[in-house]
Each structure stands twice: as structure tokens, then as C-alpha cells.
Amino acid sequence: MAGPARIAAWTAGLTGLKRAAVGIFLGAVSVLAFAPFHLWPILFVSLGGLVWLLDGSYRGGETLPARILGAGLTGFWFGFGFFLTGLYWIAEAFLVEPWRHGWLIPFVMTAFPAGMALFFAAGCAFAMALWREGPARVFALGLGLGLSELARGYVLTGFPWNLIGYGLLATPSLMQLAALFGVYAATVFAVLVFASPASIWCGGGSQSRRSAVVASALLVLLAVSYAWGAIRLAGTADTPTDLRVRLVQANIDQAEKWRPENATRIFETYLEMTERPGLEDVDIVIWPETALPFALDKSPDALAAIGDILPANTVLLVGSARWTERRNDMGILVSRRAYNSLMAVDGEGQVVAIYDKVHLVPFGEYLPYQDFLESLGVMQMTGVRGGFSVGTGSRLMTVPGAPPALPLICYEIIFPNEVRTQASPPRGTERPGWMLNVTNDAWFGSSAGPYQHFYQARLRAVELGLPLVRVANTGVSAVVDPLGRVLANINLDTSGIRDVTVPALGPLTLYVTWGLWTELLALGIALLGWLVCRIRVRPPRLTG
């Protein structure tokens, strides 16, 4: 026990560059808890170390403002390390066309992690306002980081990538907790569980004993949660439906995709893969996001070719850019809009349903202050003049011969509450029968990014109790059941098809039913724990 106490004292006593370096290191190693590594016990080290660093801010600050400022800086350095290593793969997108975007990499890979680190800074500063010796500080940190991670999902359109809760839900058994309260509430629980053992070493005495009691109780709760998840998995068998889909992953190099001379070859590649044996037994063929380097609905020859190969009762779902025009009474073009769309094409080559992406990627699909930045020569990653427009209309998609689908293009699937809202229609209306996620993770090469994206998509299936069908240009394409089990997949950097029967709809989850209330409950429990830990137990007075 003396060893951890000395490490805790040494960590708390760090100042200046040493404190910043340790904060960055702890944030960086936290990423090992997420896909593709899933080494979730590392969070005991990283979040425990963060507690000790914040202890130093608490004890070293002479006034509350000084303590809050020190905690904010500590949280910033921790967050900078976390996002620098966790989002390094974003640089891959700037190397697709390095002559256009490569020069931005040093700026993006410092400014973006620094901007995201402000959320951790705010969470730690908030926690310091409530910081006390003993177990109370763990609940303060759970409340602070829980609030800041929730804010990260909404501020400036949101980017809830690698929320701390994903580290807790890394195993199939613990993943089942998402069906109860979702990843935001899991984030609060994760901070409490992983930070609590470190709170035991706070200078000895009754506070250490109280911290040990709290840590033990939380670890027991973690074990119970794991056991419950394992029982849920063992007691739920896969139930197939009559819907059979073909996943088509062509593995097209992103750098080659938009060259005009490659358009015909790419289209023919998809046609050839679609036509492979067994097509007559498939109800739906699925191609990924922006599968084709041209607007499919404006290409009658391409639609006719698709109709020629599809059986009469088979439908193609294909991601494609789509342009619309509005003209005045004189026939003069007034406006032209581009959409990132998902189209359903029937066996006659007719477009029978369209979904336009709603949650667009800033700087990827559109630019804030689009006209001004384009006048300076700045373009979003997709290079579409004017950027993509936000889709309107129903978020559900009616596909012939299939239950209503919840379509999600690319990173739309990482927004838990936004997806939950679409999966819980008003009373009396039909619940979607499955989720469809089409994406183009080829932007990010063979990095950790595609694996992180796929894991977050799997967790949406558990949260919502919906089967997931996911098709990527390259990795990871898969079919996932409502408990997050992968039934079939095509790996990263692989070309191939999979014919899979879509699993049945799962029961309505507690998270879908209660939604935001589960997140408020988790925050309320953290606040209640903080209040309880502040109660001082006085010894009974002796009489006589």
C-alpha cells in the first residue's frame, strides 16, 4: 500500500511541464481502452492518475479560483493527449489529396485536439469546484466529466467520438448495459468505477477507509453488471427474419475514386460483385455511402444497367450524391443543391425511395461561413462547390419488401440521442425494424478510425434493440444483432460480398423508453453520492 501512496503523492506534487507531460501521457494511454484494442482496465491507471493530478491542484491552490484554473489546465492536458492519440487517423483524410490538404495536417492535428480538450478542461474545472478529500472527489469528477462529455455531443453540432463510456462497455457482457441507460450515463458510471480505487490514497485516516468502501461497492456493482450482461447474452438466441441482404464492399481507393477516367470501372466493379451467384435469393443489395463517383439519379444508363441485373423482387440500396435544381418562370437557374443521399432502386431501374443525410460533417461536407471561406479558396474535404445541404423529411425509409429502415449515413450513427429519437416513433406508429448504416471509411486508411466507428455503430444496436446492417466502402461491413453480436463481417482493406439474413427486432430497451431521463438519473446519482460523502459521521457522545 505504501507504493501506491508514494506514487499518488509524487503525481499530486508535479508542477509545470512535468505535470503537463504526465497529463498528456495519461490521456494518451486512455485510448487503449477503445477500439481496436479494448484494453479497458487501462482506465484504472489513467483516470486514477487524473484524480491524483487534480489532488495536486486542490492542495496547491491557495484560493478556489486558483484551484479551478489549475484543474482546468490539468484537464486540458489530459484531453489533449486523449484526442491527439485517439483521433490521429483524421490526418489520413488530408493525405487522400495531399496537394490540396496536406499542408493543413500540422494545424489540424494540434488545433482540433486542443479544441476538443476544452471539454475535459471544463469538466475538471467543474469537478474542482466540488472537490473534497476522500470519496466525494470521485463523485465530483464523475459529475464534471459526465456533463462535459454530454456537452461534447451537442456543442457546435457535436462530436461524441470515443466517449469515456465506450471504454466501460468494451466487452460484449458489459456492452449490454447500453440497453439500460445508453453511453452518456455509462460515462458517469465509468468515471466513478475507474477513478474510485485511486481515491483510497488521500493521506490516510477515515477518508481513506470511506474511499475504500465506495471503491469496493462500485467494483462489486461492475462485477454484477458483467454477470447480468453475460446472462443476457447466454439467454437470448439469434432469431432470423425472412429478409436476406447482400453486403457489397468494393474496397475502392479513395484517392482513385473521383478521377473521371475511373468512373466506368468503379461502376462495373459494383455490378460484377452484385451479380455473383446467389443473387436470386437476396431481397436487398447494399452498396456503401457515395459508392459511385457520379449522380446516379441523373444517369439513366446506369439505372438501366442496375435494372438489368436485379431480379424482379430485389432492391438495391446505394449511396450517391444527388443534385436538385430550382428554376424561375423564365427557366433561369435560381439555386442548385447537393445532397449526400441513400437511394432505393428497384428491379426496373427506378428510384423508389430517397433519404438525404441530415447531420453533415463540418469541414468535411460543408463549411461554416461557406461562401466567405470558398472566396478565400478554402474547400471542404469532399470538394463539392457550395457544400452539401441538410436533408429534410422523414428519417425512416420505406424499402419495398422490408420493414421500415432507420437509415444513417456515415457518422450520423455516433449521435446516441439523435438516433434514439428516430428509433422511438410516436405512440401508435410503427417502430423501425432495422438500422442501415452506409459509410465510406476509406478516407481513414488502415488506421484505428474505421474500427472505432464500427464499434460505436454496434453499441447503437444494443441501445436501441435494433439489428444493424452496415456497409462500408472498406471495413468494417457487418450485420449485428440487437445484442451487439457480429453475425457476419467483411474486414478492413478487403473486397468481398456477404449474403446474410437480417436478425429479428429486439425488445424495446429501457434506454429507448426513458432516454434523457436515464442520463439525468446517472448525473443525479453522482450528485447524491457527492452529498452523502460530505456527511460527517460524528462519534456518539459518552454520558455518565
Indicate whether 540 belongs to any domain.
no
Residues 318 and 219 in one domain: no
Asked if residues 141 and 159 have their Cβ atoms less than 8 Å apart, the reply is no
| Chain CA centroid to CA 406, Å | 17
What pLDDT does residue 233 have?
97
Q: One of 133, 289, 365, 418 is an active-site residue; which one?
A: 289
Based on the domain organization, do 250 and 185 belong to the same domain? no
Surface-to-core class of residue 543, CB atoms within 10 Å of its CB (0-12 exposed, 13-18 middle, 19+ buried): exposed
| Residue bearing the bigger pLDDT, 186 or 326 | 186
Question: Does residue 280 have an active-site annotation?
Answer: no
pLDDT for 371 beyond 70: no
Are 164 and 97 in the same domain?
A: yes
Q: Rounded to an integer, what distance in angstroms lies between the CA atom of residue 283 and that of residue 139?
A: 51
In the block, residue with C-alpha cell 441538410: 390
Chain centre distance of CA 272 = 33
> 258-296 pLDDT, tens per residue?
888 999 999 999 999 999 999 999 999 999 999 999 999
Same domain? 145 vs 194 = yes
Q: Does the structure show a pLDDT above 60 at 316?
A: yes
423: enclosing H helix or E strand: helix 416-423
The verdict on whether 124 is a catalytic residue reads no
Question: In terms of DSSP bridges, do strands 434-439 and 468-472 run parallel, antiparallel, or are they unpaired?
Answer: parallel
Measured between alpha carbons, how far is 148 from 30 in angstroms, rounded to an integer? 17
Query: Is residue 538 one of the residues assigned to a domain?
Result: no
pLDDT(177) > 80: yes
425 phi and psi angles, rounded to 5 deg: -65, 165
Cβ(242)–Cβ(281) below 8 Å:
no
Residue 451 has pLDDT above 90, yes or no: yes
Backbone angles phi, psi at 333, to 5 degrees: -65, 125
Same domain, 527 and 492: no
Q: Which residues pair with 261 in a beta bridge?
A: none
Which residue among 357, 463, 519, 533 is the active-site one? 357
The count of structural domains within the chain is 2
Catalytic residue among 92, 124, 257, 410: 410
Domain span including residue 408:
240-503
Residue 381's Cα: distance from chain center in Å? Answer: 20
Go through the chain and tell me how many residues it has: 544
- Classify residue 230 by its DSSP letter: H
Query: By percentage, how much of the chain surpasses pLDDT 90?
Result: 78
Bridge partners (DSSP) listed for residue 285: 246, 316
Are residues 459 and 519 both part of a single domain?
no
Q: Based on the domain organization, do 246 and 324 belong to the same domain?
A: yes
CB neighbours (10 Å) of residue 13? 14
Together in a domain, 300 and 392:
yes
410 is catalytic: yes
- Give yes or no: residues 184 and 332 share one domain: no
Q: Are residues 247 and 284 in the same domain?
A: yes
The sheet carrying 434-439 orders its strands as 405-409, 434-439, 468-472, 477-480, 486-490
454 vs 460: CA distance, rounded Å: 10
Residue type for position 325: E
541 in any annotated domain: no
539 is a domain residue: no
What's the confidence (pLDDT) of residue 377? Answer: 62
Assign 544 a pLDDT band (cuts: 50, 70, 90): very low
Q: Are 203 and 252 contained in the same domain?
A: no
pLDDT in tens, 41-89: 999 999 999 999 999 999 999 999 999 999 999 999 999 999 999 999 9
Across residues 90-109, what is the average pLDDT?
85
Distance of alpha carbon 76 from alpha carbon 109, whole angstroms: 15
